[in-house]
Amino acid sequence: MRVKIQLQCTECKRKNYSTVKNKKNTTGRMEVSKYCPFDRKHTLHKEAK
């Protein structure tokens, strides 16, 4: 049940990271604070479609 997802920065709207998540355990959209190399700071990254 693990699927590949893309994480998109909420400030610059670029897809910087890819990861996998378990759809059974995490049914909603994933939100993680990650480093954005374009903004040069830590920002909130949300799961993209």
* Closest alpha carbon to 16 in 26, 3, 46: 46
Report the alpha-carbon angle 33-14-18, nearest 5: 60
Class of the domain covering 2-47: mainly beta
Q: What is the DSSP string of 23-40?
A: TTT--S--EEEEEETTTT
How far apart CA 13 and CA 15 sit, in angstroms, is: 7
Convert the pLDDT of each residue in 1-49 to its tens digit. 899 999 999 999 999 999 999 999 999 999 999 999 999 999 999 999 8
The confidence score (pLDDT) of residue 49 equals 81
The confidence score (pLDDT) of residue 35 equals 98
| Sign of CA pseudo-dihedral 33, 10, 18, 31 | positive
Written as one letter, the residue type at 9 is C
